[in-house]
Chain A
Amino acid sequence: MSKNSVLEIEDLNVGYNTYRGFSDVLDDLNLTLKKGEKIGVIGESGCGKTTTMKSIHQILSDNAVIKSGKIYFNGDELFALDRSYEKYLEKGPIHTELQDTFEENDLSVPSKSKLSKEGDSWAVKSKGTVRYGIYQTENGMIIKPRRDVLKMKKKELMSLRRRHVSMIPQDPTASLNPLYKVKTQMKDVLKYSGETTEEIEDYKERSIELFDEVALTDPERVLDSYPFQLSGGMRQRVCIAMSVAVAKDILIADEPTTNLDVTIQDQVLRLIRDILEERDFSAIFVSQALGAVRKFVDRIYVVYGGTVVESASTSRIFTDPKHPYTVGLMESIPKLTGGGFSVGIAGQTPDYVDAPSGCRFHPRCPDAKDRCKEEKPDLVDLGNDHYVACWRD
Chain B
Amino acid sequence: MLLVGGTNMSKNLIEAKNLKRYFEIEAGTVKAIDGIDFKIEREDVLGLVGESGSGKSTTGKALMGIHPPTGGTLTFKGKDISTPVTERSMDIKKEMNMVFQDPGGSLNPTKSVFKIVSLPLKIHNLVESEEEAVNKVYELLDTVDLDAERFMYRRPGDLGQGEKQAVAIARAIATDPEFVVLDEPTSALDVSIQAKIMNILINLQKEFDMTYLFITHDLGLMRNIATKVAIMYLGQFFELAETHRFFEEPLHPYTKVLLSSFPTTTEEEEKLKPDLKAKGEIPSAMDPPSGCRFHTRCPYKEETCKKENPKLKEVRDDHYVACHLVD
What residues make up the interface of A, taking CB atoms closer than 8 Å to B?
44-45, 231, 233-234, 261-267, 269-270, 288-292, 294-295, 318, 328-346, 348-349
B223 contacts which chain A residues (CB < 8 A)? 334-338
With contacts A265-B261, A334-B220 known, is A344 near B281, CB below 8 A? no
Contact A341 B195 (CB under 8 A): yes
Contact B278 A342 (CB under 8 A): no
Which candidate, B27-35, B91-99, B114-122, B263-271, is the interface stretch facing chain A? B263-271
B110 CB within 8 Å of chain A: no
B221 CB within 8 Å of chain A: yes
Q: Tell me the residues in window 256-315 of chain B with beta carbons closer than 8 Å to chain A beta carbons.
A: 257-266, 268-269, 272-273, 277-279, 281-282
Contact B198 A291 (CB under 8 A): no
Which candidate, B10-18, B130-138, B171-179, B186-194, is the interface stretch facing chain A? B186-194
Which 8 A-B residue pairs are closest in the complex by CB-CB distance?
A: A291-B263, A344-B195, A266-B261, A345-B192, A334-B220, A263-B278, A344-B196, A332-B195
Contact of A336 among B196, B199, B202, B219 (CB under 8 A): B219
Contact A266 B277 (CB under 8 A): yes
Interface contacts beyond A290-B263, A292-B263, A345-B193: sample of 9 additional A-B pairs, CB < 8 Å, sorted by A: A231-B281, A263-B257, A263-B258, A334-B194, A334-B198, A334-B223, A335-B220, A339-B224, A348-B162
With contacts A291-B263, A294-B263, A343-B199 known, is A336 near B247, CB below 8 A? yes
Q: How many A-B residue pairs have CB under 8 A?
A: 131
Contact B217 A261 (CB under 8 A): yes
B183 CB within 8 Å of chain A: no
| Cα–Cα, bound, A328→B192 (Å) | 7
What residues make up the interface of B, taking CB atoms closer than 8 Å to A?
51-52, 160, 162, 190-196, 198-199, 202, 217-221, 223-224, 247, 257-266, 268-269, 272-273, 277-279, 281-282
A/B interface sample: 23 pairs, CB < 8 A: A44-B191, A45-B190, A231-B281, A266-B260, A266-B261, A266-B277, A266-B278, A267-B277, A267-B279, A290-B191, A329-B191, A329-B192, A332-B194, A335-B220, A335-B224, A335-B266, A335-B268, A336-B223, A337-B266, A337-B269, A337-B272, A344-B193, A348-B193
With contacts A44-B192, A337-B272 known, is A261 near B282, CB below 8 A? yes
Contact B262 A291 (CB under 8 A): yes
Contact A344 B194 (CB under 8 A): yes
B196 contacts which chain A residues (CB < 8 A)? 343-344, 346
With contacts A318-B265, A344-B194 known, is A334 near B272, CB below 8 A? no
